[in-house]
Structure 1
Amino acid sequence: MRTLMKWVLRIVLMLVLAAVVVGVWKREEIQRLMAVNSLFSEEKIIHNFSHMDDAFLTVDLPRGEGATFELPYGPGFELPEGTDKWVEDRAVTSLLVMQDGQIRFEEYYLGTTPEDRRISWSVAKSYLSALFGILMAEGAIDSLDDPVVKYAPKLQGTAYDGATIRNVLNMASGVTFDEDYLDYNSDINRMGRVVALGGELDDFAASLNETFVEPGETWQYVSIDTHVIGMVVRGATDRSVADLLTEKIIEPLGLERDGYYVTDGAGVAFVLGGLNFTTRDFARFGQMILQNGEHNGQQIVPAEWIAESVFPSAPTEAGEIGYGYQWWIPVGAHEGEFLARGVYGQYIYFDQPRGVVIVSTGADRSFRDDGVNETNIEMFRTIAQSL
């Protein structure tokens, strides 16, 4: 009996030791997974969205040595009636309103500050679109109608084999992908765990093998499509998206702070949602786009590309919000009205005829409720029209 107990005790001690060894070996991965599982919790979401580098692997986007793009303050104005309630209801963390290159309103909420580098979520998709337009103009990519596998051969034989670059820019790849943020086992949440555990998103994209329609037939928001755009960029240039974005957009813009990308385990930028900048630096990008890609006498993004990319070319349903090349076009939009949008309340709204850019960041855990996006857009329109 004593021999048996000693044997059992020895086995238990060995298992405990093994668990300790694995825990130490995988400590960072376990910590990141725990961070993902609590990333959107009510008590942590505001802090987390300003400190993504505490929980994930990242790569810096240095601002460079150039002069800072000054954002002068213009005359202040009273926000329209109902704005305060909207700020509270939507858990807005910052709101910055610019007109004609001047800040007309700037405020930070829920304990955030101007120095916070806030997570972009899918606003990052529009940055990648701008970079893509630069590379197209430089001749790195031959045609939007090229198949993605021409530049991303890893996707041969997958659900993306047959899709064109235009298809993925339009979110019309036809690839089956579950974007339900509330379902723990959805594709979007499985992808998040890949990033947290140091996996590779290229492998994740290559693991998708189902389609629900032919490419180009139907619009369906599929965030992994944006990662495929990143694969195309890397394949066409043999450079990282982070380096290209820094060289061609970040440094020429003269940001006030370095930014950073969340990355996967291979150091590949999380291009579909991993940018982190201050609210003012999001506004600097927005002002450049508002000016049709020009800043300080330099054409950073081709004006023709911006016009093409914000045109609602995707096969969306009639009467629904439109989509271009990683940009949103609201229902009933007038010419020059479009936006970048990310989950939990991240927006850059544009009204070119009025010279208005509005940046809003948030931690809105009810962002998927019916009518929330429409309410946000109407608030931005009301603010722009009140200037």
Structure 2
Amino acid sequence: MRVFLKWLLRIVLMLVLAAVVVGFWKREELQRLMAVNSLFSEEKIVHNFSHMNDAFLTVDLPRGDGPTWELPYGAGFELPEGTDEWIEDRAVTSLLVMQDGHIRFEEYYLGTAPEDRRISWSVAKSYLSALFGILLAEGAIDSLDDPVVKYAPKLEGTAYEGPSVRNVLNMASGVTFDEDYFDPNSDINRMGRVIALGGELDDFAASLQDSFATPGETWQYVSIDTHVLGMVIRGATGRSVTDLLVEKIIQPLGLERDGYYVTDGAGVAFVLGGLNFTTRDFARFGQMILQNGAHDGQQLVPADWIAESVLPSAPTAPGKIGYGFQWWIPLGAHEGEFLARGVYGQYIYFDQPRGVLIVTTGADRQFRDPGINELNVEMFRKIAQSL
């Protein structure tokens, strides 16, 4: 019996030692996994959204050595009735309102500050759309109707073998992907764990085998579609999205501060939601788009691409919000009204005829409740109309 107990103790000690060794060896991955698991907790969400580089692998987006695009202040104005309650209820962390290139209102909430670089979430998709339009105009991509696998051969034999580039731009790939943020076993949360543990999103995309619809027939928001667009860009150009975005958009904009992308374990940018910039720098991108892609005498993004991108060309259901090429078009939108949108309350809202741009960041844990997006759009409309 004594021999058996010694043997058992030795085994236990070896297992403990092995666990310690593995824990030390994988400590960074484990720390990131723990960060993912508490990323949206009520007590941490505001802090976490300003410090994503503490929890994830990242790559810098340097602003370059050029002059900063100065955003002058215009006359102040009174926010519409109900705005204060909306700011509190929606856990808004920053609100910036611009008209005709001038800041009319700027404020920060819940302990955030102007220098905070806030996570974009899916607002990043619209940045990728702008980059895609540049590359299409330059001839790197031959046609939107080319099959995805022409540029991303790794996806041959997967659910992405059928869709065209246009289909994935429209979120009409037909690929099965569960976007439920509140289900720990959903595809979107499994993808988050891939990033946390240093896996590769290309492999994750290539693992998707099932489709629910014929490509182009049905719209369904599938975030991995945007990663596939990144694969198309990388395959077409032989360059990283990071380098291309910096060269063609970030540095020409004259940002006030370097940004960064969250990346996977291979250093590939998390293009579907991983951008981090200050609120003012999100506004600089937005103002360029509002100006039909032009800034400081340069046409950064083709104007015809922006116009096409913000048309509700995706096969969304009648009576529902529209979708273009990685841009949202609100129900009842007038011409030139569209938005970039990210989970938990990240928005860039555009009203081109009024020359109005509104940027919000947030930590709204009720963002998926029925009617919340519509309520937010109505608030943006009230603000725009009150200027």
Distance in 2 separating the partners of 1:197 and 1:15? 22
Distance in 1 separating the partners of 2:241 and 2:71? 27
Aligned residue number for residue 245 of structure 2: 245
- Number of aligned residues: 387
Distance in 2 separating the partners of 1:294 and 1:361? 24
Distance in 1 separating the partners of 2:16 and 2:178? 38
TM norm structure 2: 1.00
Distance in 1 separating the partners of 2:213 and 2:9? 58
Note the 1:296-307 alignment, pairs <5 A.
296-307=296-307
Aligned residue number for residue 359 of structure 1: 359
Give the root-mean-square deviation of aligned CA atoms.
0.4
Note the 1:210-229 alignment, pairs <5 A.
210-229=210-229
Distance in 2 separating the partners of 1:6 and 1:201? 46
Aligned residue number for residue 44 of structure 2: 44
How far off its partner does 1:126 sit? 0.1
> Which digits, 9 at most, give the CA deviation of each residue in 1:275-311, with x for residues without a partner?
0000000000000000000000000000000000001
Aligned residue number for residue 151 of structure 2: 151
Aligned residue number for residue 316 of structure 2: 316
Aligned residue number for residue 161 of structure 2: 161
Aligned residue number for residue 66 of structure 1: 66
Q: Secondary structure at the match of 1:353?
A: coil
Distance in 2 separating the partners of 1:369 and 1:2? 62
Distance in 2 separating the partners of 1:6 and 1:214? 63
Confirm or deny that 1:95 pairs with 2:95.
yes
Q: Secondary structure at the match of 1:374?
A: helix
How far off its partner does 1:8 sit? 1.0
- 5+ residue gaps, structure 2, are none
Which amino acid counterpart does residue 92 of structure 2 have in structure 1?
V
Identity %: 86
Confirm or deny that 1:268 pairs with 2:255.
no
Distance in 2 separating the partners of 1:372 and 1:213? 28
Distance in 2 separating the partners of 1:352 and 1:5? 78
Distance in 2 separating the partners of 1:91 and 1:219? 30
> Which digits, 9 at most, give the CA deviation of each residue in 1:63-116, with x for residues without a partner?
000000000000000000000000000000000000000000000000000000
Note the 1:97-246 alignment, pairs <5 A.
97-246=97-246
Distance in 2 separating the partners of 1:226 and 1:10? 51
Quick check: 2-11 or 211-220, which moved more?
2-11
TM norm structure 1: 1.00
Which amino acid counterpart does residue 19 of structure 1 have in structure 2?
A
Distance in 2 separating the partners of 1:63 and 1:175? 36
Distance in 2 separating the partners of 1:315 and 1:299? 30
How far off its partner does 1:257 sit? 0.3
Distance in 1 separating the partners of 2:316 and 2:368? 19
Which amino acid counterpart does residue 359 of structure 1 have in structure 2?
V
Distance in 2 separating the partners of 1:316 and 1:307? 19
Distance in 1 separating the partners of 2:113 and 2:179? 31
Distance in 2 separating the partners of 1:13 and 1:284? 58
Which amino acid counterpart does residue 317 of structure 1 have in structure 2?
A
Q: Secondary structure at the match of 2:142?
A: coil
Which amino acid counterpart does residue 112 of structure 1 have in structure 2?
T
Distance in 2 separating the partners of 1:252 and 1:138? 17
How far off its partner does 1:175 sit? 0.3
> Which digits, 9 at most, give the CA deviation of each residue in 1:135-174, with x for residues without a partner?
0000000000000000000000100001000000000000
Note the 1:372-383 alignment, pairs <5 A.
372-383=372-383
Distance in 1 separating the partners of 2:343 and 2:56? 18
How far off its partner does 1:9 sit? 1.1
How far off its partner does 1:337 sit? 0.2
Distance in 2 separating the partners of 1:92 and 1:162? 40
Which amino acid counterpart does residue 187 of structure 2 have in structure 1?
D
> Which digits, 9 at most, give the CA deviation of each residue in 1:16-74, with x for residues without a partner?
10000000010000000000000000000000000000000000000000000000000
How far off its partner does 1:384 sit? 0.2
How far off its partner does 1:210 sit? 0.3
> Which digits, 9 at most, give the CA deviation of each residue in 1:178-228, with x for residues without a partner?
000010000000000000000000000000000011000000000000000
How far off its partner does 1:4 sit? 1.5
Which amino acid counterpart does residue 130 of structure 1 have in structure 2?
A
Distance in 2 separating the partners of 1:7 and 1:323? 65
Which amino acid counterpart does residue 306 of structure 1 have in structure 2?
I
> Which digits, 9 at most, give the CA deviation of each residue in 1:219-263, with x for residues without a partner?
000000000000000000000000000000000000000000000
Distance in 1 separating the partners of 2:9 and 2:379? 66
Q: Secondary structure at the match of 2:220?
A: coil
Distance in 1 separating the partners of 2:123 and 2:61? 16
Structure 1 stretches of 4+ moved >3 Å = none
Which amino acid counterpart does residue 368 of structure 1 have in structure 2?
R
